[in-house]
């Protein structure tokens, strides 16, 4: 058994409260329950964390890197919210930790405003899941597990 870190960035604590047409009706608690059930179905556990602060997200990625090196963690499922489109620091953190990071977006960021079309994280990510709603988190965990199995 190993851990999967499910990391959510700024404003994702507001899921299910507004903009259901864009982000769906699921709350962050619903998303985290889905991740825990998916990880458990594969014999793993999901550790879920949300922060509105860039530095806290970087600290969590660094800790994930340590756990990955110790063989305790298979990877990270990461929705960086708005920092996706702004953060060189998160790009550098993902590159630096050595653990696979799957970038997730609930909405199809490529079909939205031009400022959401670019991700600083994608070049550093091991995989990307975009536009499948909250179910994207399940798909990302499945992908991470499969990727670990075939390696």
- Give Cα separations from 27 to 18, 23, 45, 106 (angstroms): 10, 10, 20, 12
Residue 17 beta carbon to ligand CA2: minimum distance, rounded to whole angstroms: 6
Task: Closer to ligand CA2 by CB, 142 or 148: give it.
Answer: 142
Angle of CA points 89, 108, 10, to nearest 5°: 40
Task: Closer to ligand CA2 by CB, 58 or 77: give it.
Answer: 77
Catalytic residues: 23, 105
Query: Any idea how long the chain is?
Result: 151
Residue 12 beta carbon to ligand CA2: minimum distance, rounded to whole angstroms: 5
Question: Which residues contact ligand CA2 (rule: CB under 6 A)?
Answer: 11-12, 14-15, 17-19, 23, 79, 81-82, 84, 105-107, 109, 116
Task: Closer to ligand CA2 by CB, 17 or 62: give it.
Answer: 17
Of 81, 90, 102, 106, nearest to 148 by C-alpha is: 102
Residue 86 beta carbon to ligand CA2: minimum distance, rounded to whole angstroms: 10
Q: Which residue has the tokens 């991470």?
A: 144
CA atoms of 118 and 134, how far apart (whole Å)? 21
């Amino acid at each position: 058994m190993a851990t999967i870190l499910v990391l959510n960035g700024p404003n994702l604590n507001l899921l299910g409260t507004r903009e259901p047409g864009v982000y769906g009706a699921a709350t962050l608690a619903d998303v985290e329950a889905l991740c825990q059930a998916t990880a458990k179905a594969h014999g793993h556990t999901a550790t879920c964390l949300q922060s509105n602060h860039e530095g806290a997200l970087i600290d969590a990625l660094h800790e994930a890197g340590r756990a990955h090196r110790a063989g305790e963690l298979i990877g990270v499922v990461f929705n960086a919210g708005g920092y996706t489109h702004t953060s060189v620091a998160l790009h550098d953190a993902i590159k630096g930790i050595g653990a696979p990071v799957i970038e997730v977006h609930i909405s199809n960021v490529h079909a939205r405003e031009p400022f959401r079309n670019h991700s600083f994280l994608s070049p550093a990510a091991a995989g990307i899941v975009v536009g499948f709603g909250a179910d994207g988190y399940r798909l990302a965990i499945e992908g991470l597990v499969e990727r670990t199995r075939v390696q």
